[in-house]
Amino acid sequence: MTTRKKLLITILCLTTVLCALVTGTLAWLTDDTTPITNTFTPSNIKVELTEDFNTDSNEDAIPDKWEGKLIPGTTLDKKATVTVDNDIDCYVFVKVEKSANLDTFIEWNIADGWTQLEEGVYYRTVAADSAVKSFYVVKNNTVTVRESVGKAEMATLTSLELYPKLTFTAYAAQQSGLTVEAAWAAINP
């Protein structure tokens, strides 16, 4: 190897070492943050429909159904209650199904606080922080047998399928992002 090449290699080595030393001594300004964690918790809506039953059909001392005798002019207790357990604002619905002959025999009204959405469907809004989460379905918790009911009407009740019936079903849906109509459409059975 010639002296010239040796000199060139030496200069290149010195330049590389010098660059490494200069770069190593440069201070870079840097910073970072502490992490921020976003935790998404589940929301909850649970609806329950209960009733104070008045009949113990299997005689085990536990009421298991509601039954009322059709005696003209009498008032019968009917304590159907909707209870919602919600940690978000929600709509609570009650669907009312009546047998075709119910209005011939029974007078009743929906309890205060329910708004009719459509025929046989009522709703109310319940805030997550509401102190009241249980609502009666029937006004004054009673139904009345019409005074006009007589032997002729009673004679039409020849089988269980023909007995007047009043059925309630409760539902609940989130309020956020939904109109009451859209909420009912989303859960409409």
8 A C-beta contact, residue 47 and residue 92: yes
* pLDDT attached to residue 23: 59
**pLDDT attached to residue 1:** 66
The total of structural domains in the chain comes to: 1
Residue 125 in any domain: the answer is yes
In a domain, 142, yes or no: yes
In a domain, 20, yes or no: no
pLDDT of 48: 94
Residue 145, domain extent: 45-187
Distance CA 96, CA 110 (A): 9
Q: pLDDT of 85-107, one tens digit each?
A: 999 999 999 999 999 999 999 99
pLDDT of residue 4: 74
pLDDT band per the 50, 70, 90 thresholds, residue 141: very high
Burial class (CB in 10 A: 0-12, 13-18, 19+), 84: buried
For 94, how many CA atoms within 13 A lie in the half-sphere containing its CB?
28
Question: What pTM, to 2 d.p., does this model score?
Answer: 0.76
> Is residue 24 domain-resident?
no
Residue with tokens 């089988």: 159
Domain assignment of residue 23, yes or no: no
In a domain, 135, yes or no: yes
- Residue 25 inside a domain? The answer is no
Closest Cα partner for 127 from 87, 180, 186, 181?
Answer: 87
Quick check: is 9 in a domain?
Answer: no
Domain of 150, CATH number, reads: 2.60.40
The letter for the amino acid at 25 is T
